[in-house]
């Protein structure tokens, strides 16, 4: 809250507003904190902090069943928690718009994050989820916009991976 939000969070929030997002679910990650604050402050969005990411997959399905679009935010380790729940998307043809902040790649300092970070794109792909990767902040908003269209107009499950390079190395130092 002490620094102004980086522009990608503001731009992505604007994209989510235009896409008609009404529910947002997350397990927090530092790289997502400003977007999470913007979503909490948005009266059009019901924001739920999850206990585990897999709960968010089921809530996204429930939101769609009830007629609302949603976004699911998590860190790459959360993808590992979701694997079995992702099967719900493929079987029922539910859309999913997920944003995943990556760990275990660019300048990672924590060896414990590497294995799940490296496996994340392959795990998502194995569960039938389209993976779009963002390496530069300027690409975040257009990529999320494309992902939202594919999800909600085309019934696809899409995950946008926000790379550690884009999020910036210094953010991780305190963790």
Partner 1 sequence: MDTQTSLHHANRKVMNRHDLTRRLVARLHREEAVIGGIGNTNFDLWMTGQRPQNFYMLGSMGLACPIALGVALAQPGRGVVALEGDGSLLMQLNCLATIGAIAPANLLVIVMDNACYQITGAQPTATAARADLVAIAQGAGIANSHWAADEAGFEQLVERCLAQPGPHLIAARIDSQPATGTTERDPALIRQRFMRGIAVTT
Please give the residue ranges that form the binding site for partner 1 (CB under 8 A): 22-23, 46, 48-52, 54-56, 58-68, 70, 84-85, 87-88, 91-94
Q: Which residue lies nearer to partner 1 by CB, 83 or 118? A: 83
The b-or-e profile of 153-174 (16+ CB within 10 A means b, else e) is: eeebbbbbbbbbebbeeeebee
Q: Give the shortest CB-172-to-partner 1 separation in angstroms.
A: 26
Q: Which residue lies nearer to partner 1 by CB, 70 or 164? A: 70
Q: Which residue lies nearer to partner 1 by CB, 115 or 126? A: 126
What phi and psi, each to the nearest 5 degrees, are found at residue 23?
-135, 140
Q: Which residue lies nearer to partner 1 by CB, 14 or 88? A: 88
Q: Give the shortest CB-57-to-partner 1 separation in angstroms.
A: 8
Q: Whole-angstrom Cα distance, residue 66 to residue 126?
A: 28
Q: Whole-angstrom Cα distance, residue 76 to residue 119?
A: 9
Q: Give the shortest CB-160-to-partner 1 separation in angstroms.
A: 20
Q: Give the shortest CB-92-to-partner 1 separation in angstroms.
A: 4
HSE-CB at 98 with a 13 A cutoff on CA atoms is: 35
Q: How far is CA 69 from CA 41, 77, 119, in A?
A: 18, 24, 28
């Amino acid at each position: 809250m002490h620094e102004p939000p980086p522009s990608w969070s503001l731009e992505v929030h604007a994209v989510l507003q235009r896409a008609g997002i009404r529910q947002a679910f997350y397990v927090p990650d530092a790289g997502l904190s400003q977007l999470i604050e913007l979503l909490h402050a948005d009266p059009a969005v019901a924001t739920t902090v999850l206990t585990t990411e897999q709960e968010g997959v089921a809530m996204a399905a429930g939101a769609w069943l009830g007629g609302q679009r949603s976004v699911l935010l998590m860190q790459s380790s959360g993808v590992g928690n979701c694997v079995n729940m992702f099967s719900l998307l493929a079987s029922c043809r539910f859309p999913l718009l997920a944003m995943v902040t990556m760990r275990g790649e660019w300048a990672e300092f924590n060896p414990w994050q590497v294995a799940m970070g490296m496996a994340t794109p392959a795990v998502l792909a194995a569960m039938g989820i389209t993976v779009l990767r963002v390496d530069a902040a300027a690409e975040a908003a257009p990529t999320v916009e494309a992902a939202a269209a594919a999800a909600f107009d085309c019934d696809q499950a899409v995950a946008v991976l926000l790379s550690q390079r884009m999020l910036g190395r210094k953010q991780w130092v305190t963790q």
